[in-house]
Structure 1
Amino acid sequence: MRVLLVLIMALCCCPAFADDGWRPTLTSHQWVPERLLAIDKDDQRLFVLQHESPIKAVMELPCTTGQAQGDKMVRGDLRTPEGTYFLGRRIQRPLGWDLYGNIAYSLNYPNPVDRIKGKTGSGIWLHGRGKALTPRDTRGCIALKASDLESLGSDLYPGMPVVVAEDVSWKPDSGTEGKLAAELVQEVRNWARDWESRSGKFFVHFDPVAFTLSGSGDFAAYKSHKESIFRSTPWLHVMVDNVRAIAGPDYWVTCFDQFYRSPSLAQTVGKRLYWMRTAKGGWVVVGREYTRPQQDLAPQYFKVMDKRIRPVIRKWAAAWQDADMESYLSFYGTDAVQGDYRGAEAIREYKNALWEEKAPVKVTVDDVKIFPDSKGLRVDFVQEYEDASGYADRGHKTLVLAPVGDGWKIEREEWRRL
């Protein structure tokens, strides 16, 4: 039912469905992609737009689009689709020079929202043309002079946004789009947070029927698979960065890099989520696509973990030095192993007996280094210890910590003398 409400709102309220086609005005909010293409079907022009505060055109070229006017709906209607699309890889095979020049890129038509709407067809390209350009002369593709497309060179890349509209314009301020983009960026962060929590709240971000119709996979199977992972995985981390947001006719697309880490997997992927409004004004994910990431987020993830773990180690050392048993034990998991002692209660008994006889007076840590571990993180450092009897030592300490809730617990502790 919710997908019907989503689509009814989109069809009734969005200018994308006006008789004269989609006519967006792009604005200069901070989440606009750094560079994108804009196709103006009315003027038969292609613009290379760059976000330099404000957004501006850095190149303008003539182009030709579909022979029939209007938004593409079905295979063979000779129309060029209207919406927000993304370049695929360069097509590496011989092309007919007159029609295609020597360069072609696929577009991701039909995108997930197109599939929800039942649009059909495929093979929409951005390509060159060896013969002279004639306005509205393709079967639905976007064609440029072969020399013009070649001149774009490295400006084109897989995943580059392409806004295709009947008429497109842009302005220097952020407008209402800036507020909407901020909402969507926050939605992405909430989606990642709820995924990391391994709770049912994660699934509230989706419209199950629309997700299935979009070609993103059967939602029931997707949910069952995720729930199985949530039950069997003690923890997982999800980091998102390089988030961009761009509007379509009646939807938004957020593009970002995602780092996922669990005990058995660590990887960075690029991802696009397609969002639509609900009848109550909220946002739901109706489709998704995987892409190549802009950067590997693993180094950034471990920098964040480093900042989180160092205060934990300092507080653990302070609790030990103060002989504060309850605070000290709060850093250990129930089944923690410390040398020959297994379990938090065994550690308590050992430390109680030791501290009654020789209380600690100095515990310092230095040269802290953090590494991945299947349990979570391994922390290596140099430890100096001294007790009330005058005994002192210096050694290499290893702590293995596992994520528990919003914090960390020591699962294993090892020491060797230096």
Structure 2
Amino acid sequence: MQAAALKSAFVRALPVFILLVLGASAADAANSISGNIFTEADNAFTVLLVDKQASELHIAEVNNKVPQITKSYAALHGRNSGDKLKEGDNKTPEGFYYITGYVPPDKLDSTLYGDGAFTLNYPNVMDKYKGKTGHGIWIHGRGADRNNEKTQGCVSLSNRDLTSIKPLLLPGTPVIISDTIEFLSPEDYSKNKKKHMDFFKRFISSWENSDFKGFASYFSANFRAYDGLSAENYLNKKKQLMLTNPKRKVFVSDVNIFKENANKLMYSFNQLYCSDNIMSYGSKKLYLMVEKADNFRIIAEEFTELELEPFLEKSVISTVNNWKTVWQARDIEKYISYYSSSFRSDDMDIKQWKAHKEGLFQNTKTIKVNLTDIKLKAVSSGKIVVSFIQEYTSGAVADRGIKTLVLTGCPGDYKIIEEVWRPALTGT
């Protein structure tokens, strides 16, 4: 009975024991969801959260769109408090960063930096915009000669802890450094996520629907674009695009929202912009700050062009296969719906092409088409050139050749504007 009573008392005291050993923030982290990460991305990924006030580094593992804290470590930071402003101020910067590389211990003074260092992209575009100076902000180990409890601005872990998380610290891994990290209950997390995601959806909708007034309202008067344009010049450029290309589609994917504190957010996402004659794809980051009336405004942006063809491949192949299916079914109305009103093939326009194909459909009972080696290339005019090996069989007619289709439009709404066939060369 006495042993059972002691066991019961120990279990009741366990939460207090955890608080004493880990500290209140680490205990909160172990039982809550990170309030600094919101995502609609389907892929799993890792985010590092540095809490300067608690002197801790948390590992947030994002699975099924939920960020859970899986590990927490004691971490040193700059000996002076506050956000880094200039070189030599011995402060650790606060903001949104990414791991850019790894420096092994044999390339460092290991007596200071221990078992290696992971470099960060400080100063980022927001830091430069604010006029911050300095460089060489790392997450590194701890050498035997580092007896002080602070750094010159880096984040430092024990060598054992750095080694344990090294496999997670890949280039591109997000790092959020804040004065204090936020932890939320599942209910509060859902509310915050919806608020931030709804804001983003309204912003994209205003752009897609040429609502210039609504679109412009999301930007700070102090905004600077990635190419250096001021808010006025940037918005004038967007307004002109809306006037000259009123129809557009803006496809976004892998949307992540990172929160530094109550006043700073970053939206990171991949974006396809598609209009009548422009198609571009890239990675975009929007940096936001709270301005008057507690409203977030976009203060800066980054855009990195990405390869377009891999992103378009799935939608283009789906369109081509669906086109093939209705062709084999000899359904002239569905078949011709895949073609633009501006279509041309040799000397035939869309009306002549329809009449030509309708006659062929009526004079045959079966059509079989096999497509292989589908390749695509996006060209600057907003068109997509698709080529493939086509094997065609209809009654006594059989041929094999290279078919080229030129598509216009956006994913989900492609139209064939040009079609060319030539015999395939056969080897001996």
CA gap 1:417/1:180 in 2 versus in 1, 3 angstroms:
same
Structure 1 residue ranges without an equivalent (≥5):
1-22, 387-391
Q: Partner residue of 2:419?
A: 413
Distance in 2 between residues matched to 1:274 and 1:41, nearest whole Å: 21
Q: Partner residue of 1:62?
A: 74
TM-score by length of 2: 0.66
1:306 aligned counterpart, secondary structure: helix
Distance in 1 between residues matched to 2:46 and 2:423, nearest whole Å: 56
Contact 2:224 2:301 in 1 (8 A): no
Which amino acid is 2:345 matched to? Q
Q: Indicate whether 1:376 and 2:381 are aligned.
A: no
1:275-321 deviations in whole A, cap 9, x for unaligned? 3467688765432345798xx88545312322234334444565xx4
Q: Partner residue of 1:394?
A: 398
Equivalences for residues 231-242 of structure 1 within 5 A = 240-242=252-254
1:211 aligned counterpart, secondary structure: strand
Q: Partner residue of 2:301?
A: 288
Contact 2:222 2:230 in 1 (8 A): no
Q: CA deviation at 1:153?
A: 2.0
Q: Partner residue of 2:45?
A: 34
Aligned pairs, how many?
A: 378
Contact 1:38 1:162 in 2 (8 A): yes
Distance in 1 between residues matched to 2:111 and 2:276, nearest whole Å: 54
Distance in 2 between residues matched to 1:75 and 1:189, nearest whole Å: 38
Q: Partner residue of 1:212?
A: 224
Distance in 1 between residues matched to 2:223 and 2:327, nearest whole Å: 46
Distance in 2 between residues matched to 1:331 and 1:52, nearest whole Å: 39
Contact 1:332 1:411 in 2 (8 A): yes
Equivalences for residues 209-288 of structure 1 within 5 A = 209-212=221-224, 218=230, 240-249=252-261, 250-257=263-270, 270-276=283-289, 284-288=297-301
Distance in 2 between residues matched to 1:140 and 1:417, nearest whole Å: 66
1:311-349 deviations in whole A, cap 9, x for unaligned? 34444565xx4666xx765543355333453x335546x
Q: CA deviation at 1:261?
A: 8.6
Q: 1:126 aligns with which of 122, 125, 139?
A: 139
Which amino acid is 2:155 matched to? I
Distance in 2 between residues matched to 1:215 and 1:146, nearest whole Å: 40
Q: CA deviation at 1:161?
A: 2.1
2:315 aligned counterpart, secondary structure: helix
Identity of aligned residues (%): 22
Q: Partner residue of 2:367?
A: 364
Distance in 1 between residues matched to 2:286 and 2:292, nearest whole Å: 19
Contact 1:112 1:274 in 2 (8 A): no
Q: 2:174 aligns with which of 149, 161, 181?
A: 161
Which amino acid is 1:152 matched to? I
Contact 1:76 1:121 in 2 (8 A): no
1:248 aligned counterpart, secondary structure: strand
Distance in 1 between residues matched to 2:409 and 2:68, nearest whole Å: 47
Q: Partner residue of 2:9?
A: none
Distance in 1 between residues matched to 2:222 and 2:409, nearest whole Å: 34
Which amino acid is 2:386 matched to? R
1:94-137 deviations in whole A, cap 9, x for unaligned? 43334333523333344444455x352322332233124432x2
2:367 aligned counterpart, secondary structure: strand
1:407 aligned counterpart, secondary structure: coil
Q: Which has the higher contact order (CA 8 A, sep 6+)?
A: 1
2:84 aligned counterpart, secondary structure: coil
Distance in 1 between residues matched to 2:290 and 2:255, nearest whole Å: 19
1:47-101 deviations in whole A, cap 9, x for unaligned? 2232357644443333221222233344443322333332232357943334333
Distance in 2 between residues matched to 1:366 and 1:216, nearest whole Å: 51
2:299 aligned counterpart, secondary structure: strand
Which amino acid is 1:364 matched to? I
CA gap 1:168/1:359 in 2 versus in 1, 3 angstroms:
closer
CA gap 1:74/1:247 in 2 versus in 1, 3 angstroms:
same
2:83 aligned counterpart, secondary structure: coil
TM-score by length of 1: 0.67
Which amino acid is 1:71 matched to? D
Deviates more, 1:284-293 or 1:248-257: 284-293
Q: CA deviation at 1:366?
A: 2.9
Q: Partner residue of 2:120?
A: 107
Q: Indicate whether 1:140 and 2:153 are aligned.
A: yes
Structure 2 residue ranges without an equivalent (≥5):
1-27
Q: CA deviation at 1:400?
A: 0.9
Q: Partner residue of 2:101?
A: 89
Which amino acid is 2:286 matched to? L
Distance in 2 between residues matched to 1:256 and 1:160, nearest whole Å: 14
1:203-254 deviations in whole A, cap 9, x for unaligned? 6486264431888655566678889999999x99875433322212222223
Q: Indicate whether 1:344 and 2:350 are aligned.
A: yes
CA RMSD of aligned residues (A): 4.9
Q: CA deviation at 1:160?
A: 1.9
Distance in 2 between residues matched to 1:104 and 1:362, nearest whole Å: 70
Contact 2:309 2:376 in 1 (8 A): no
Q: CA deviation at 1:372?
A: 0.8
Which amino acid is 1:68 matched to? N
1:86 aligned counterpart, secondary structure: strand
Distance in 1 between residues matched to 2:268 and 2:281, nearest whole Å: 13
Q: Indicate whether 1:404 and 2:398 are aligned.
A: no
Q: CA deviation at 1:37?
A: 1.8
